[in-house]
């Protein structure tokens, strides 16, 4: 399977602040484990981004990739923007124009 490897979105500081505030209360829905960034992980992350736009990801203990690298690589492979990374947790954002308007995240 080929992945969409477009350059991730450019977000303004205000947009990132909005997304960080929205993501603060989220629980991680994706966890990177000892397999690292696998095909299944990419597919799961893509599906989560499609349905939620903003996804919190947690990096597990025995991940074979450095934390910052893992966050940037997953963002690149899912054509999403890396909004924030704090320790082993990071936020990814990718807008989905196909979601109903009340489910989309509005960025000014």
* Tens of pLDDT, residues 6-65: 444 789 999 999 999 999 999 999 999 999 999 999 999 999 999 999 999 999 988 888
pLDDT (tens digit per residue) in 2-16: 455 444 478 999 999
Domain ranges of the chain: 13-94
pLDDT (tens digit per residue) in 76-97: 999 999 999 999 999 999 999 9
Question: Token pair for residue 15?
Answer: 């947009």
pLDDT at 82: 96
Which residues on adjacent β-strands are paired with residue 55?
92
pLDDT at 9: 74
Residue 75 burial (10 A CB sphere; 0-12, 13-18, 19+): buried
pLDDT at 7: 47
User: Could you confirm whether domain 13-94 is CATH 3.40.50.150?
Assistant: no
Question: Token pair for residue 73?
Answer: 């690589």
pTM more than 0.85:
yes
Are 93 and 50 in contact, with CB atoms under 8 Å apart? Answer: no
pLDDT at 17: 95
pLDDT at 2: 44
């Amino acid at each position: 399977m080929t992945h969409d490897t477009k350059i991730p979105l450019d977000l303004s500081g205000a947009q990132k602040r909005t997304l960080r505030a929205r993501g603060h209360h989220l629980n991680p829905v994706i966890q990177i484990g000892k397999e690292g960034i696998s095909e299944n992980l990419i597919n799961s992350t893509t599906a989560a981004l499609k349905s939620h736009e903003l996804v919190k990801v947690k990096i597990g203990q025995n991940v074979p990739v450095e934390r910052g690298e893992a966050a940037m690589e997953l963002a690149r492979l899912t054509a999403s923007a890396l909004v924030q990374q704090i320790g082993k947790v990071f936020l990814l954002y990718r807008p989905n124009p196909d979601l109903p308007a009340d489910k989309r995240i509005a960025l000014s």
